[in-house]
Amino acid sequence: MHRTATALTLILAAGSAMAEPLWDKHLTNPTAYIPSQCYTNTLDEAGNAYNPCFTCHVDARAPNYIVGDEDLQTEYAFPRAALKNPWTNLFVDRSAAIAAVSDAEIDAYVAQSNYFDADGTITLARKLANPPANWDEDGDGAWAGYIPDCHFNFDAEGFDHAPDGTPTGWRAFAYVPLPGGFWPTNGSTDDVLIRLAEPFRTDETGAYDPEIYKVNLAITEALIQRADVAIDPVDETRLGVDLDKDGTLGTADHIAYDWMPIDGRFMSWVGAAKGEKLAAGLFPLGTEFLHTVRYIDVSSGAVSMAPRIKEVRYGIKSKWQTYADLEQGGLAEVKERAAFPDRIDIFDGGLETGIANGTGWRYQAFIEDAAGDLRPQSFEETVFCIGCHGGVSVTDDAAYAFPRKLPSQTAHARGWYHWTQKSLAGTPEPVRADGQRELLTYLQENGAGDEFRNNAEIIARFIAADGSVDPQAAAELEQDISTLLFPSPERARTLNKAYREIVLEQSYVRGRDAVAMPAANVHREVEQNQPTGIVTPVRAARW
């Protein structure tokens, strides 16, 4: 009874706190685009340096023209407005609140879907058909942004279908999560889906053609991976394109990556998209991504995605930018950073249409309200997304997951499946471009399994007393990355409870990291260009 009353009090208080329209562009944190992980204290009391920074900040490869980003491994290069850590939820002791929630209560909460109505209708789609006044930025009674339309009803090839069998265009893919905060053991499960624009899904007459769509997705994969991609055999004569670049139109079992226009080497889309723009390292115009961040379900004894969603994140490539456009933008950023180091980023966009990242993409999202229902993110809550999607060098065309898709040559279903169809468990560890094991390298460089060195479970399991990685744990990791990425049921429930407290408070602008106890290895304040203690930057994993 006491717990219920406390939760109700928090919900009422949160409702009062969210009284300002969600589209209000006043930022309580003007540098919300700099994530909490960037405030990690990389030095321990003995002066030893730990490096989680290379996960994001590396020497970029074109057409990512963020210059000098690897320097952020060695210093806290913040504008003056960001020197004091605004992510104060990191320092809240939630242990008493967590202890007041039973395992049965949190299990029941995460098992309840907030995406679907009882009849299978997508809840947000129903609400957005007649948006509440607090969601209707332009007051026209309609929602101008993305309306969730994925039914999470996947066939054997990862394609989503509406209840009547109609393909929605969304396709799930399997990937190795970026090291650190996106591992389930650090708070959330998640999935990512891709959808190409309609011309990439249809033949020249405009009719939906699943083979054409699969080929265009494979071409996209080849362009992003800069590598050949295995496909099921297709008739090149029907498509009119030499996909395997063998000089003839026959049967192709792979997409050959062979794009160097300066040398007269070109690639082409197929179907109605045959004349659409194409370039290595870039997604085609109109590409969409759907990313759901979820609680961790351990009710069955295994780690899986919970029905309850924390966030529905959406991005669309709304503008094509050439290599020259992107390079000009990168150089302008360098010039501005040198001339005006204290100038903060300003963002274009709104609640309904999303926020532009400066490289052709727009992002918007939905997040839980205090009652656990999904609502549009506020403008400030969406600014939080933009620094990572467009502001770091490790991404390909602002994307994290698709460049990390499991290889088509060796993965189950060529890597096109949803985590509800096959678990991450049993996935072997990927190898870096330099030949080293990727996740082992992260453990060796960081001495921990998260940016804050706050995951005691991983440290106990993988890190020996002398700071080295335990050989037996490392051997198991090489065969199955879930030995590192999955939490124990006890930890999963603790993190679920910790995050739900943030939901009840609606305090996302103070941080979304699920921490039960105050994070110890985090700066509350830094000096401008303060050294991190890291001397030699670590190179990127994939190039």
pLDDT tens-place string over residues 204-224? 999 999 999 999 999 999 999
The pLDDT assigned to 2 comes to: 40
Q: How far apart are CA 7 and CA 26, in angstroms?
A: 28
- Reported as type and span, the H/E element at residue 252 is strand 251-255
For 220-246, how does the pLDDT look when each residue is reduced to its tens digit (9 = 90+)?
999 999 999 999 999 999 999 999 999
Helix axes 489-505, 103-111, angle to 10 degrees: 70
Identify whether the C-beta of residue 228 lies closer than 8 Å to the C-beta of residue 251. Answer: no
Domain annotation covers residue 498: yes
The pLDDT assigned to 229 comes to: 99
Nearest residue to 42 via CA among 364, 452, 427: 452
Residues 400 and 256 in one domain: no
For 249-263, how does the pLDDT look when each residue is reduced to its tens digit (9 = 90+)?
999 999 999 999 999
% of residues, the chain, pLDDT over 90: 96
Residues 450 and 317 in one domain: yes
Residues 510 and 472 in one domain: yes
Buried b vs exposed e over 60-97: b needs ≥16 C-beta within 10 Å? beebbbbbbbbebbbbbbbbeebbebbbebbbbebeeb
Expressed as residue numbers, the domain containing 250 is 197-285
How far lies 394's CA from each of 58, 124, 485, 526, in Å? 6, 32, 20, 24
DSSP 155-223: -TTSEEE-TTS-EEEEEE--BPPPTTTTSGGGT-EEEEEEE--GGGGB-TTS-B-HHHHHHHHHHHHHH
Q: How far apart are CA 67 and CA 503, in angstroms?
A: 37
Mean pLDDT of 516-543: 97
Domain annotation covers residue 182: no
Residues 403 and 471 in one domain: yes
Q: How far apart are CA 82 and CA 60, in angstroms?
A: 24
Beta carbons within 8 Å of 450's beta carbon, 6+ residues apart: 52, 180, 181, 183, 185, 186, 458
The pLDDT assigned to 16 comes to: 41
Where in 288-408 does DSSP place strands (E)? 288-297, 304-317, 349-350, 354-356, 361-368, 374-376
Q: How far apart are CA 162 and CA 35, in angstroms?
A: 36
Kindly report the average pLDDT of the chain as a whole number: 96
For 312-335, how does the pLDDT look when each residue is reduced to its tens digit (9 = 90+)?
999 999 999 999 999 999 999 999
Q: How far apart are CA 155 and CA 122, in angstroms?
A: 19
Residues 61 and 204 in one domain: no
- Reported as type and span, the H/E element at residue 438 is helix 438-446
Beta carbons within 8 Å of 167's beta carbon, 6+ residues apart: 159, 160, 161, 208, 210
Residues 344 and 412 in one domain: yes
Domain annotation covers residue 175: no
Residues 379 and 419 in one domain: yes
Residue type, 265: R
Identify whether the C-beta of residue 269 lies closer than 8 Å to the C-beta of residue 200. Answer: yes
For 436-472, how does the pLDDT look when each residue is reduced to its tens digit (9 = 90+)?
999 999 999 999 999 999 999 999 999 999 999 999 9
Domain annotation covers residue 484: yes
* pTM of the entire predicted model: 0.95
Q: Which DSSP category does 42 fall into?
A: -
Identify whether the C-beta of residue 519 lies closer than 8 Å to the C-beta of residue 217. Answer: no
Beta carbons within 8 Å of 199's beta carbon, 6+ residues apart: 271, 272, 273, 276, 286
Burial class from Cβ neighbours inside 10 Å (0-12, 13-18, 19+) for residue 149 reads: middle
Instruction: Indicate the residue among 267, 285, 303 that finishes a domain.
Output: 285
The pLDDT assigned to 378 comes to: 97
Residues 346 and 405 in one domain: yes
For 361-398, how does the pLDDT look when each residue is reduced to its tens digit (9 = 90+)?
999 999 999 999 999 999 999 999 999 998 999 999 99
How far lies 132's CA from each of 121, 143, 314, 349, 351, in Å? 18, 10, 20, 20, 13
Is the confidence at residue 168, as pLDDT, over 80? yes
Domain annotation covers residue 228: yes
Residues 304 and 445 in one domain: yes
The gap from C-alpha 66 to its chain's centroid, in whole angstroms, comes to: 19
Residues 293 and 267 in one domain: no
Residues 491 and 431 in one domain: yes
The pLDDT assigned to 20 comes to: 79
- Reported as type and span, the H/E element at residue 479 is helix 471-479
Instruction: Report the chain's terminal Cα–Cα distance, integer Å.
Output: 56
Q: How far apart are CA 539 and CA 33, in angstroms?
A: 24
How far lies 2's CA from each of 9, 106, 451, 493, in Å? 11, 16, 35, 20
Domain annotation covers residue 174: no
Q: How far apart are CA 519 and CA 538, in angstroms?
A: 25
The pLDDT assigned to 19 comes to: 59
Beta carbons within 8 Å of 106's beta carbon, 6+ residues apart: 493, 496, 497, 500
Domain annotation covers residue 157: no
The pLDDT assigned to 18 comes to: 53
Instruction: Indicate the residue among 285, 319, 351 that finishes a domain.
Output: 285
Burial class from Cβ neighbours inside 10 Å (0-12, 13-18, 19+) for residue 128 reads: buried
Beta carbons within 8 Å of 340's beta carbon, 6+ residues apart: none
If one counts the domains in the chain, the total is 2
Helix axes 438-446, 471-479, angle to 10 degrees: 150
Is the confidence at residue 345, as pLDDT, over 80? yes
Buried b vs exposed e over 483-510: b needs ≥16 C-beta within 10 Å? bbbbbebebbbbbbbbbbbbbbbbbbbb
Residues 459 and 338 in one domain: yes
Instruction: Indicate the residue among 232, 260, 285 that finishes a domain.
Output: 285
Mean pLDDT of 129-146: 97
Reduced to 3 states (helix: H, G, I; strand: E, B; else coil), residue 523 is coil
Q: How far apart are CA 351 and CA 502, in angstroms?
A: 22
Domain annotation covers residue 91: yes
Is the confidence at residue 7, as pLDDT, over 60? no
The pLDDT assigned to 10 comes to: 47
